[in-house]
Amino acid sequence: MEQQNRGVYRQQVAVDHYRRATSLQRSEQVLFSRFLKPRDRLLDLGIGAGRTTRFLRDRPIYVGLDIAQEMTAATFRDLGETRLVVASADMLPFADSSFDSIVFSFNGLGYLDSRNGVYNEVHRVLVPGGIFLFSLHNARFITGPTQRDLRSLVAWLPRIPATAARSVSSGRVWRGSGVIDHSRGAPSALGDLRSTCLARGALVREVTTHGFAVQAVLSAPVPGFPAPMSPWYYVAALRNAG
């Protein structure tokens, strides 16, 4: 899965898609404000074309990382940011306890083959008590608008039957885990992406098993939506000592 996704991210149509994403989600705004400090040494994983870089790079020590050189090149061209690294999140080229906070947005964790490897590497390069903020697709998402405005609600209503039927028939809703196929409703290149997903309870257990203490789990991209209407979750987790 990861090799296929990496090929997608290297295509120009994917780079252009991510360049158009320039704002934070509501859930990100809440968690960034609550858990990130201005003087943190911050590692920004899976930056794409620099969406989160715009909001996080004002720290004295900031590193943006992506698996695709094409993405980091776009970030450099658009923002002039040079503190960028091309690497996979499950093989981080940094010393132990190098960062106070790590962000992994846009469900990047689910596009890699080894979530265990990512958790282990994040645990290694975070200081004890450091914060890890990340998102992952929700296996029990059935259907819902991604915004609470009237236009989004009106556009969502006609899609409810087909979207709900497709979600339930996939089996991931009942299993609480699975793989999401992005082929429907995505730009041509992004339709080839595949991502893993977990139900909230399974996600919390997984994070805890890898040496983190979960501080918050928000529905995303908008806090407060019930599980069947939340496409993904955003997690804040502290790295345990030891």
Structure tokens at 49: 């074309």
Return the closest-CA partner of residue 40 out of 65, 55, 60, 24. Answer: 60
- Is pLDDT of 217 > 90? yes
Render pLDDT for 87-96 as a digit per residue (tens, 0 to 9). 999 999 999 9
How far apart are the two ends of the chain, measured CA to CA in Å? Answer: 32
pLDDT at 146: 59
What is the tens place of the pLDDT at every residue in 113-157? 999 999 999 999 999 999 999 999 999 988 766 555 667 666 756
Q: Which helix (H) or strand (E) holds 210?
A: none
Q: What is the mean pLDDT of the chain?
A: 91
Task: Please give the DSSP secondary-structure letter assigned to residue 241.
Answer: P
Spell out the domain ranges in the chain: 2-239
Please enumerate in sequence order all residues whose Cβ is within 8 A of that of 45, keeping only pairs 6 or more positions apart, or say none.
Answer: 65, 66, 89, 102, 103, 104, 105, 108, 134
How many H-runs (helices) and E-runs (strands) does the chain carry? 10, 9
Quick one: pLDDT at residue 151? 72
- What is the arithmetic mean of pLDDT over 35-43? 97
* Contact assessment for residue 233 and residue 121, using Cβ atoms and an 8 Å cutoff: no
Tokens 């975070």 label which residue? 126
Distant-in-sequence, close-in-space partners of 59: CB < 8 Å, separation ≥ 6: 38, 39, 40, 41, 42
- Confidence grade of residue 184 (pLDDT, cut at 50, 70, 90): low
CATH number of 2-239: 3.40.50.150
Q: Are 3 and 178 in contact (CB under 8 A)?
A: no
Is the CB of residue 204 less than 8 Å from the CB of residue 217? Answer: yes
CA–CA dist 127, 240 (Å, integer) = 9
Spacing of C-alpha 74 from chain mean position: 19
Average pLDDT (188-197) is 85
pLDDT average, residue stretch 196-216: 97
Cα 190 from chain centroid (whole Å)? 15
Q: What confidence score (pLDDT) does residue 143 get?
A: 72
Reported as a pLDDT band with limits 50, 70 and 90, residue 9 is very high
Element of type H or E holding 232: strand 232-239
Q: Each residue of 185-198: b (16+ CB within 10 Å) or e? A: eeeebbebbbbbbb
**Residues 51-57: contacts with CB under 8 Å, at least 24 apart:** 51/18, 51/21, 51/22, 51/23, 51/24, 51/105, 51/106, 52/24, 52/28, 52/103, 52/105, 53/79, 53/81, 54/22, 54/79, 55/24, 56/32, 56/103, 57/81, 57/83
Handedness of CA 169, 175, 179, 180 (dihedral sign): positive
